[in-house]
Amino acid sequence: MSDILMPKATAVWLVDNTSLSFEQIADFCGLHPLEVRGIADGEVARDIRGADPIGNGQLTREELDRAQANPDYRMKAQVSRHAELLKPAKKAPRYTPVSRRQDRPDAIAWFLRHHPEVTDAQISKILGTTKATIEQVRARTHWNAANIKPVDPVTLGLVGQLELDALVKKAAEKKAKDDAKRGIVPEDPTLRPASEAGQFEPEVEEEEDFRAPRGDIKAEDVFGKSTGYVDEEDEE
pLDDT at 45: 77
* Cα 48 from Cα 6, distance rounded (Å): 10
Domains of the chain by residue range: 7-86, 98-181
**Which run of H or of E encompasses 121?**
helix 120-127
Strand segments (E) across the chain:
none
Residue 218 pLDDT grade (very low, low, confident, very high; cuts 50, 70, 90)? low
* Cα 127 from Cα 124, distance rounded (Å): 6
Q: Tell me how far CA of residue 222 lies from CA of 16, 190, 211, 217, 230, in angstroms.
A: 113, 53, 13, 8, 18
Q: Tell me how far CA of residue 10 lies from CA of 15, 30, 41, in angstroms.
A: 9, 11, 16
pLDDT at 221: 56
**pTM higher than 0.75 for the full model?**
no
pLDDT at 169 over 70: yes
Higher pLDDT, 150 or 95: 150
User: Average pLDDT for residues 158-181, to the nearest whole number?
Assistant: 89
Q: Which residues of 13-48 are buried (b: 16+ CB within 10 A; e: fewer)?
A: bbbeeeebbbebbbbbbebeeebbebbeeeebbeee
pLDDT tens digits, one per residue of 32-77: 999 999 888 888 777 788 888 888 888 889 999 999 999 899 998 8
pLDDT at 160 over 60: yes
pLDDT tens digits, one per residue of 139-157: 999 999 999 999 999 888 8
